[in-house]
């Protein structure tokens, strides 16, 4: 199933929307963990790292990686569907 993008000739696949959504969600989780690292203890009521902050930094690293990979994947998917937009005329 493909959705037509707002601009351009080609449709983008559902993969583009999945990568965009997951990238946005992981980006929000990344920012939330950077701004409020103790949210894990507040939400789940547990302290998995006994106050060292190691789990919070692991969450920051993993969500940053997931966000970057999703952005890259969505960009590649967009360029696949819109090859002319990928290389504008000189």
The pair of structure tokens assigned to 13 is 């696949």
Mean pLDDT of 53-59: 93
Kindly give, in sequence order, each residue whose CB lies less than 8 Å from that of residue 11, ignoring residues fewer than 6 positions away. Answer: 2, 3, 4, 5, 81
Phi and psi, residue 3, nearest 5°: -110, 140
Write out pLDDT tens, residues 36-45.
Answer: 998 888 999 9
Residue pair 60/66 in contact by the 8 Å Cβ criterion: no
Higher pLDDT, 7 or 72: 72
Please state which of the ranges 3-7, 12-16, 79-83 shows the lowest mean pLDDT. 3-7
């Amino acid at each position: 199933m493909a959705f037509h993008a707002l601009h351009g000739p080609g449709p983008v696949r559902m993969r583009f929307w999945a990568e965009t959504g997951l990238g946005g969600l992981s980006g929000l989780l990344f920012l939330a963990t950077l701004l409020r690292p103790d949210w894990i203890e507040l939400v789940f009521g547990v302290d998995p790292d006994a106050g060292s902050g190691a789990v919070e930094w692991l969450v920051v690293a993993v969500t940053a990686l997931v966000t970057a990979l999703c952005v890259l994947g969505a960009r590649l998917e967009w360029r696949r569907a819109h090859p002319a937009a990928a290389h504008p005329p000189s």
